[in-house]
A = this chain, B = another copy of it.
Amino acid sequence: MNVIIDLCVVPIGVGLSVSKYVVACQGIIKAAGLESQLHAYGTNIEGEWDEVFDVVKKCHEKVHEMGAPRITTTIKAGTRVDRDQTMADKINSVREKL
């Protein structure tokens, strides 16, 4: 089962700047070989369900390891079984109508 997620990991208790944690998560996503796209309030990731959610778990483990005692994460997860649809397909289906 393929999934497209939007992931936003927020470390709590480590001050105001969270970019170094976001950078670490980007590294985990890249290492997993998954297609992804950073935006201003999260990162879109697509791939096989288990691989994608393994990345989410590894991000939590890494951010804790880096010193964050508490994390709150928001995930949107979309699956469909009627047809294949990539992140690029979703954006294109909007753009071609604009």
Residues on A facing B (Cβ under 8 Å)? 1, 3-6, 8, 10, 12-13, 15-20, 22-23, 26, 37-42, 44, 46, 49-50, 53, 56-57, 60-61, 64, 69-82, 87-88, 90-91, 93-95, 97-98
- A sample of 28 cross-chain residue pairs with beta-carbon separation below 8 angstroms, ordered by A number, consists of A1-B57, A4-B41, A6-B39, A8-B76, A10-B12, A12-B12, A12-B16, A16-B69, A16-B70, A16-B82, A17-B93, A19-B90, A26-B94, A40-B44, A40-B87, A41-B87, A42-B76, A49-B60, A53-B53, A70-B78, A70-B82, A71-B79, A72-B76, A72-B78, A74-B74, A74-B76, A74-B77, A75-B75
